[in-house]
A and B are shown apart, each in its own frame.
Chain A
Amino acid sequence: MAFEEAPFVALVHHRDEVPVVKVAGDLDLMSAPRFRDVLGKAVRGAEGDFPGVVVVDLGGVGFMDSCGINALVGATRDFASDGGKVRLVVKSSPVARTLSVTGLDKVFDVYPDVGSASCRGVA
């Protein structure tokens, strides 16, 4: 590929004690395993809290394919089924489109920014 793909970054920080997984770059076949790994650790760290909340900040993701979707759902499945809340921050239209086509925008709570997503309690 001739175009330069943005380097992929996934790291965890906290905002008002809520873990925020910040992701940047393209979320695809290559980067999905790392994303899953980082998200999985953040989710396990939040399991002690109740109600557990994890924010996944996809604001810096320009593109997400089915492998990214697979990692997102796979890493949060157990957490979500135990009542944990996974909140997505989505800015770019390709990511919003992928979530919309796959119907996952109705499964996850989607927020426009990290500030509103990291509010504790029911949003």
Chain B
Amino acid sequence: MKERMEPEMPNLRGMLDHLPDPFIAVDAEWRFTYINPAAATMLGGGEDIVGKPVWDIFPGAVGSEFGARLLGAMESRESFEMLLKPREFGLDTDAWFNLRAYPVPGGLAAIAWDATIAKENEEEREGLLEAKTEVARVLQRALLPPSLPSIPGAEVEGKYVAAGEGVEVGGDFYDVFAIEDDGWALVMGDVAGKGPEAASLTSLARYTIRTAAMRVKRPRLVLSTLNEEILRQTGGERLFTAVYGELESKIGGGGAMVLRVACAGHPSPLILRNDGKVENFPETGTILGALEDPEFSYREVVLERGEFVVFYTDGVIEARSEDGGFFGDERLSETVAGCGGLSAKDVAGKIEAAALDFQNGVARDDIAILALRVA
């Protein structure tokens, strides 16, 4: 077998000489033992490079990560691959090269190939992603109040965490505003889906609620108005959950406040009482945008001083751990139960941290939290 192959053995040296990709070999003392014409052209030398030490010809590599990896490969006898910009090592080209170095008997060999187009594509992709993330960030900021108003006799804090890397604008939002002289409105909403289309509905919802709140002053009617508007604008193509609350001081209540809450298919707000009990709303009403005559749940609660209410989106309870388990209602209730005595800011922060920790710090879905505490 071997004898029959021998006459056909190709001229390997000749093949390497004709490779369009730069190829070199060095011995254990880092002297060039072979350099093909493509490599010679790139390094700006010729055949006379053979025999000279790499570090003389290629001083830019000394002390660089590339140099360190070469030394490591010689020592460990393990190959490596890396992306290089030869200009950084003093060579006169703007190209990017992928270089693969591998141990060969008596030294190392390395081959490089042009990776400029792949690198440019990657940079373009990164640029687009960055631009998209920036657009999402700006849009998102427009959907949330820049700062929350200060409510006499109460503290309020909002939190928002974008899903993943924040590339897409999410559909969660919250709002807090004064209803003329009649108290304060607290809103939390969640449009199904993500992206600009969801964001535009979020914006529509936010301003529809603000307008309706001034006009009708009854929580369920505010949500009905919103439902009609969503159906009119989207033709029923987007569903939307929301919880809307109106807060005012309880007359003669010694600092206590009254909260009237209407809910449209949104996870129930949670209330922490001073005795440590967590209450939720058994009924959560019908999601917006699905029906022409939805039924919203309604409840009026009195919050004594020190008690608080938390609004949140499903990104909290639908947070998933590595093994696929959900954060869930119970864990949220337990977290809220452990918030007695904390400020609104700390309550919102604690829930946010619990939901994020549960999913290793990266939100699978948007998270919005609004905490209000009667001071």
1/0 contact trace for A1-43 toward B, CB 8 Å? 1111100000000000000000000000100000000000000
A73→B239 contact, CB < 8 A? yes
How near does chain A come to B194, taking the closest CB pair, in angstroms? 7
B323→A3 contact, CB < 8 A? yes
A65→B318 contact, CB < 8 A? yes
A106, closest chain B residue (CB)? B286
Interface residue A46 (Cβ < 8 Å from any Cβ of B): no
B320→A104 contact, CB < 8 A? no
In the complex, which residues 92-123 of chain A have their Cβ closer than 8 Å to any Cβ of chain B? 94, 97, 100-104, 106-107
Out of B192, B264, B294, which one reaches A66, CB within 8 Å? B192
A94 vs B324: C-alpha distance when bound (angstroms): 13
Out of A2, A67, A100, A103, which one reaches B193, CB within 8 Å? A67
B194, closest chain A residue (CB)? A29
Out of A66, A74, A77, which one reaches B190, CB within 8 Å? A66
Interface residue B364 (Cβ < 8 Å from any Cβ of A): yes
A66, closest chain B residue (CB)? B192
Interface residue B322 (Cβ < 8 Å from any Cβ of A): yes
Chain A interface size band reads 20 to 34
Interface residue B113 (Cβ < 8 Å from any Cβ of A): no
How near does chain A come to B163, taking the closest CB pair, in angstroms? 9
A107→B286 contact, CB < 8 A? yes
A4 vs B365: C-alpha distance when bound (angstroms): 17
Interface residue B314 (Cβ < 8 Å from any Cβ of A): yes
How near does chain A come to B329, taking the closest CB pair, in angstroms? 8
Secondary structure at chain B's binding surface: helix, strand, loop or mixed? loop
B236→A73 contact, CB < 8 A? yes
A3→B285 contact, CB < 8 A? no
Interface residue B291 (Cβ < 8 Å from any Cβ of A): yes
1/0 contact trace for A63-88 toward B, CB 8 Å? 10111011001100100000000000
Interface size, chain B (Cβ < 8 Å): 35
B residues in contact with A107, CB < 8 Å? 286, 290-291
A94→B320 contact, CB < 8 A? no
A2 vs B324: C-alpha distance when bound (angstroms): 8
Q: If A2-B322, A3-B322, A101-B266 touch, does A74 touch B365 (CB 8 Å cutoff)?
A: no
Out of A1, A2, A67, A74, which one reaches B237, CB within 8 Å? A74
How near does chain A come to B240, taking the closest CB pair, in angstroms? 9
In the complex, which residues 85-107 of chain B have their Cβ closer than 8 Å to any Cβ of chain A? none
B240, closest chain A residue (CB)? A66
Q: If A1-B320, A94-B326, A101-B266 touch, does A70 touch B291 (CB 8 Å cutoff)?
A: no
Q: If A67-B193, A101-B267 touch, does A1 touch B364 (CB 8 Å cutoff)?
A: yes
A residues in contact with B314, CB < 8 Å? 65-66
1/0 contact trace for B320-338 toward A, CB 8 Å? 1111101001000000000
A69→B284 contact, CB < 8 A? no
A110 vs B260: C-alpha distance when bound (angstroms): 31
In the complex, which residues 190-221 of chain B have their Cβ closer than 8 Å to any Cβ of chain A? 190-194
A residues in contact with B287, CB < 8 Å? 69, 73, 102-104
B residues in contact with A102, CB < 8 Å? 239, 241, 265, 284, 286-287, 290
Out of B236, B268, B294, B323, which one reaches A74, CB within 8 Å? B236
Q: B residues bordering A, Cβ < 8 Å?
A: 171, 190-194, 236-239, 241, 264-268, 284-287, 290-291, 294-295, 314, 318, 320-324, 326, 329, 364-365
Given A65-B192, A102-B286, 14 further pairs, Cβ under 8 A: A3-B322, A29-B194, A66-B171, A66-B190, A66-B193, A67-B193, A70-B238, A73-B236, A73-B290, A101-B241, A102-B284, A102-B290, A104-B286, A107-B286
The 8 A-B residue pairs whose C-beta atoms are closest, nearest first, are A103-B286, A3-B324, A102-B265, A66-B192, A70-B192, A102-B287, A2-B322, A70-B239
A-B contacts, 24 of them at CB < 8 A, read: A1-B364, A3-B320, A3-B322, A3-B323, A3-B324, A4-B324, A29-B194, A63-B326, A65-B192, A66-B192, A66-B241, A69-B192, A69-B287, A70-B239, A77-B236, A101-B241, A101-B267, A102-B241, A103-B264, A103-B265, A103-B287, A103-B294, A103-B295, A104-B265
